[in-house]
Amino acid sequence: MLRWLLIVVLASCDAPAILTATPAPEVGAATRPATRPPTAMSRSSPTRDPTGLVRCAASQLQAVAAGARTTDSFAGAVFLANRGSAPCTLRGNPDLVLLARDGSTLDLRRSSVTAGSSPALVVVPIGELRQDPAGLMGMGATAPLRWSNYCADVLPTTFRLTLPDAGGVIDGTFVDLAGGPVSSFGTPRCDDASGPSTLTVYPFQEPR
């Protein structure tokens, strides 16, 4: 599982991509507590993709994240499973926010890597995330991530994932590489206390 996490992130870095950055908040390592929306919020009228399947809504998805520290960053992914009654589709980049125990957002510079004008369409079958000694099982889609240079002492304990195309918001939790729950996410090493901490999220992909 660890090997898969690192391979999928590094492979994504080699693909042609467009990098966009979101300015970091103006206050310290943890910002004002965010008012949490319901765990899953869905659109009133789901849109169908060319496959004839509807786009995934937050209300039918479960999300967890796992990763491991590499030489110069923390590499991992958000894993999603479809708990709905039919397959659905995902396309493009989610927005990911890491949250502290009190619900405040970590002070990170958020960026995304896109695959140009035609991101891959991922069909997410019905499934369920489950623990396995060989690695987390049951994922239907992934969104790789890379986090670099974090020098604060506030740990992320949950995350919030916003789907593209007004698909809704999912509050997710962290797991270890076997799928077992953990109290906080790992962090990258501190390389520059005066520099920004950057969280980069890649487009949705099929599990590999």
Which of 194, 101, 104, 179 lies closest to 137 in space, CA to CA?
179
Helix, strand, coil shares, percent, the chain, to 5: 10, 40, 55
DSSP 31: E
**Spans in the chain with pLDDT lower than 50:** 1-6, 8, 10-44
Average pLDDT, the chain: 83
CA triple 152-4-154, angle to 5 deg: 10
Please give, one letter per residue, the 3-state secondary structure of 82-115: ECCCCCEEEECCCEEEEECCCCEEECCEEEEEEC
Q: What pLDDT is attached to residue 51?
A: 74
Q: What pLDDT is attached to residue 25?
A: 43
Q: What pLDDT is attached to residue 27?
A: 39
SS3 at position 80: strand
Q: What pLDDT is attached to residue 66?
A: 96
SS3 at position 123: strand
Beta strands in the chain (DSSP E): 18-22, 30-33, 61-69, 74-82, 88-91, 95-99, 104-106, 109-114, 121-124, 141-148, 158-162, 169-174, 198-201
Which of 190, 208, 173 lies closest to 65 in space, CA to CA?
173
Torsion angle of C-alpha atoms 156, 15, 169, 181, degrees rounded to 10? -40
Q: Where are the domains of the chain?
A: 2-201
Q: What pLDDT is attached to residue 114?
A: 80
In the structure encoding, which two tokens stand for residue 103, read together? 């619900």
CA atoms within 13 A on the CB side of 195: 9
In the structure encoding, which two tokens stand for residue 95, read together? 């927005």
Q: What pLDDT is attached to residue 113?
A: 87
Q: Give the strand order in the sheet containing 169-174.
A: 18-22, 109-114, 198-201, 141-148, 74-82, 61-69, 169-174, 158-162, 95-99, 104-106, 30-33
Q: pTM of this prediction?
A: 0.79
